[in-house]
């Protein structure tokens, strides 16, 4: 069984599924945990009923399934929303562009994305990530703290804490460096002046 009902009526992800997809095995499936906040007064307030997780459905990537879900919510255009997504693989170039397009068409929605690892299996993934970086509030590799937060919020953890291990922390460091290399601004010095590439 892959998921179990949460006490709040929400479905929770099976602990093994979470560990396999966000931790050490790196399954080919893509899972996304998401939370939604609305700006009220002077702070972001969680919209608990929209907090959930999903996965890719056959050939339809998790990001596109998520956009379908967001559109079904009919978020009030008179309010500001922040969508925070924790995803097992970073978006492919096509999904990155769909997210960029969605954000461009919905100025009342902001997005933060943290990925467990970088999806490198198609050409152009670097350009897709750079376009996405320019459209979202935050694009990063998941930290141990974010993994622990997802474990507490989205996983049927049976009251057990999320346990980290050395290889996970090494992997996070390597993925962070790779993303920084992709997204970082390179400076080239040419005849006494600098240019951002």
Q: Which of 12-16, 28-32, 94-98, 149-153 has the lowest mean pLDDT?
A: 28-32
Give 29's pLDDT tier (boundaries 50, 70, 90).
confident
Q: Which of 18-27, 100-109, 154-163, 187-196 has the lowest mean pLDDT?
A: 187-196
Please tell me which residue, 192 or 175, carries the higher pLDDT value: 175
Residue 70 has a CB neighbour count (10 Å cut-off) of: 19
Task: Give the whole-angstrom CA distance, residue 54 versus residue 87.
Answer: 10
User: Of 130, 47, 36, which is closest to residue 84 (Cα–Cα)?
Assistant: 36
Query: Which residues participate in catalysis according to the annotation?
Result: 63
Residue 149 has a CB neighbour count (10 Å cut-off) of: 18
In this structure, CATH architecture of domain 3-196: 3-Layer(aba) Sandwich (3.40)
pLDDT tens digits along 65-102: 999 999 999 999 999 999 999 999 999 999 999 999 99
**Pairing assessment for the beta strands 52-55 and 11-14 based on DSSP bridges:** unpaired
Residue 43 pairs in a beta bridge with: 40
Q: Which of 4-13, 28-37, 47-56, 112-121 has the lowest mean pLDDT?
A: 4-13
Give 28's pLDDT tier (boundaries 50, 70, 90).
confident
User: Could you give the C-alpha distances from 127 to 97, 133, 138, 139, in angstroms and in order?
Assistant: 10, 10, 16, 14
pLDDT tens digits along 34-45: 999 999 999 999
Task: Give the whole-angstrom CA distance, residue 24 versus residue 78.
Answer: 42
What's the pLDDT score for residue 24? 65
Q: Where are the beta strands (DSSP E) in 47-89?
A: 52-55, 81-87
Residue 7 contacts by C-beta under 8 Å, 6 or more apart in sequence?
none
Task: Give the whole-angstrom CA distance, residue 144 versus residue 161.
Answer: 12
Task: Give the whole-angstrom CA distance, residue 27 versus residue 139.
Answer: 21
């Amino acid at each position: 069984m892959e998921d179990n009902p949460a006490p709040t009526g929400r479905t929770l992800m099976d602990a093994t599924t979470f560990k396999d997809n966000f931790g050490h095995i790196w399954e080919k499936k893509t899972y996304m945990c998401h939370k939604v906040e609305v700006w009220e007064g002077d702070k972001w307030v969680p919209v608990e009923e929209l907090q959930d997780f999903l996965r890719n459905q056959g050939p339809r990537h998790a990001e596109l399934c998520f956009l379908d879900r967001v559109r079904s919510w009919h978020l009030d255009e008179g309010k500001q929303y922040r969508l925070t997504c924790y995803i097992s693989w970073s978006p492919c170039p096509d999904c990155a562009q769909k997210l960029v397009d969605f954000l461009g068409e919905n100025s009342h929605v902001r997005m933060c994305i943290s990925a467990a690892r970088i999806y490198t299996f198609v050409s152009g993934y670097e350009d897709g990530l750079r376009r996405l970086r320019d459209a979202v509030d935050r694009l990063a590799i998941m930290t141990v703290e974010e993994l622990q937060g997802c474990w507490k919020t989205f996983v049927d953890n049976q009251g057990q804490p999320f346990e980290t291990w050395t290889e996970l922390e090494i992997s996070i460091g390597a993925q962070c460096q790779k993303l920084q290399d992709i997204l970082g601004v390179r400076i080239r010095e040419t005849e006494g002046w600098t240019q951002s590439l």
